[in-house]
Amino acid sequence: MRTVPIVLAGRGPVGRSYLELVAERGPRWRAEYGLDLRVVAVRGRDRQRTGEVEEPLTDLAALVERTGAEVFAQAVPSDGDPRAAEEALTALRCGAHLVTATKSHLLTHWEDLAAAATRSAVRISGATGAAMPAGDLARSVLRGFDVEEVTGCVNGTSTFVLDRVAEGVAVAEAIDEAQRRGIAEADPSADLSGADAATKFRLLAALLWGWDPASTRVVAEPIAEPLSADRQRHVAHARRDEPGVVRVRLQPATGPLGELRGPDKAVRYDCGEAGEITLSGGRSSPRGAALSMLKDTIGALLESTTGFR
Ligand SMILES: NC(=O)C1=CN([C@@H]2O[C@H](COP(=O)(O)OP(=O)(O)OC[C@H]3O[C@@H](n4cnc5c(N)ncnc54)[C@H](OP(=O)(O)O)[C@@H]3O)[C@@H](O)[C@H]2O)C=CC1
Ligand SMILES: N[C@@H](CC=O)C(=O)O
């Protein structure tokens, strides 16, 4: 049995779900994977808990060294606070795997994180679509298929809101409902502007084609009133032959994307000669994101790869 010390940053809904899942499913993972996952420290904004001790935050590098942490699991706000990038880089430089649901530092520090991950893996599935493993497909499964285009609905809120609007519900009421169900963010502006979908596609394009998310341009049509009474989808696109551009636009809800129900999501990879490969499901929720982080934790420990891919 391999005991795996983990330092967790963030004790919001996703971080708390990560802790609950380790407690609930730990025995199964010990039996199935020979991994005994132990969260040895949980860090918040100013304070941390190590075992029974609640104390002010200490230096992360020293904490990783003292606890022997093999994984740094990160579920802190995607608000651009530089600490998310600093801590992720510190953990990687200490040789810990980075598993993150936080998106903002992936957009700004992709190249730095890749350079720091010389001994360990960076796993970002939770940031690319909560419980939908679109990042795993992009990272490794489709390698060699030479994906030409990727298209999808990767924001559960927008699909949910657009369907409710087509049923005659006002946009504000549909957003409230999405928030009550834990799909929409507390500030839903990125869900509706297309920024969240574009973020996920910038990350998928980085995994697929090596684009730097920091220099990927976004062209997004927002969900804003007046909206068509017909059912629509907020669809993101990126193409290999249009490097560095991600587009998000409103389209009629037809085909497999039309059948989708928020908070489920779907991504279609056009793999040329290998055909179209579509992944759907994997709903947006804190527990979905935490499950994804745990899948990534187990994957990083069992696969011996380094870096993003
Ligand atoms: N909710 C979802 O369905 C999904 C969320 N995500 C992403 O997961 C991340 C976590 O989301 P969520 O759980 O909702 O939590 P929040 O984004 O609301 O984060 C709250 C927690 O983060 C802590 N915190 C704040 N700043 C820092 C910091 N700089 N370093 C360490 N901890 C900090 C807070 O500490 P304290 O307790 O001390 O205040 C609090 O525990 C976000 O980046 C989100 O975008 C990704 C996919 C899906
Ligand atoms: N608000 C997001 C949650 C996950 O990223 C969504 O609606 O998909």
What is the model's pTM? 0.95
Point out the ligand nearest to the CA of residue 127: 1
Residue 225, pLDDT score? 87
Fold entry, domain 2-131+287-302: Rossmann fold (3.40.50)
Q: Which of 42-51, 63-72, 138-147, 257-266 has the least mean pLDDT?
A: 257-266
Query: Which of the two residues, 305 and 262, has the higher pLDDT score?
Result: 305
The CA 183 to ligand 2 mean position distance, Å, reads: 6
Residue 123, pLDDT score? 98
pLDDT confidence of 182, banded at 50, 70, 90?
confident
What are the pocket residues of ligand 2 if the criterion is a CB atom closer than 6 Å to any ligand atom?
A: 130, 155-157, 183-185, 191, 196, 284
The CA 146 to ligand 1 mean position distance, Å, reads: 35
Which atom, in ligand 2's list, is nearest to the CA of 184?
Answer: 1
Which atom, in ligand 1's list, is nearest to the CA of 77?
Answer: 17
Which atom, in ligand 2's list, is nearest to the CA of 127?
Answer: 5
Q: How do residues 235-266 score in pLDDT, each as one tens digit?
A: 999 999 999 999 999 999 999 899 998 888 99
Residue intervals of the chain classified under CATH 3.30.360.10 are 140-283
41-77 CB burial, b ≥16 within 10 A, e <16: bbbbeeebbbeeeeeeeeebeebbeebebbbbbbbbb
Residue intervals of the chain classified under CATH 3.40.50.720 are 2-131+287-302
Fold entry, domain 140-283: Dihydrodipicolinate Reductase; domain 2 (3.30.360)
* pLDDT over 70, % of the chain: 100
Reply yes or no on whether the pLDDT at 186 is more than 90: no
Residue 238, pLDDT score? 98
Could you please report the per-residue DSSP string of the chain?
-EEEEEEEE--SHHHHHHHHHHHHHHHHHHHHH-EEEEEEEEE-SSEEEETTEEEE---HHHHHHHHT-SEEEE----S--HHHHHHHHHHHHTT-EEEE---HHHHHHHHHHHHH-SSSBEE-HHHHHTTSTHHHIIIIITTTS---EEEEE--HHHHHHHHHHHTT--HHHHHHHHHHTT-S-SSTHHHHHSHHHHHHHHHHHHHHH---GGG-EEEE----SS--SS-EEEEEEEETTSTTEEEEEEEE--HHHHH--TT-EEEEEE-GGG-EEEEEE---SHHHHHHHHHHHHHHHHHS---B--
Residue 73, pLDDT score? 98
Q: How do residues 31-42 score in pLDDT, each as one tens digit?
A: 999 999 999 999
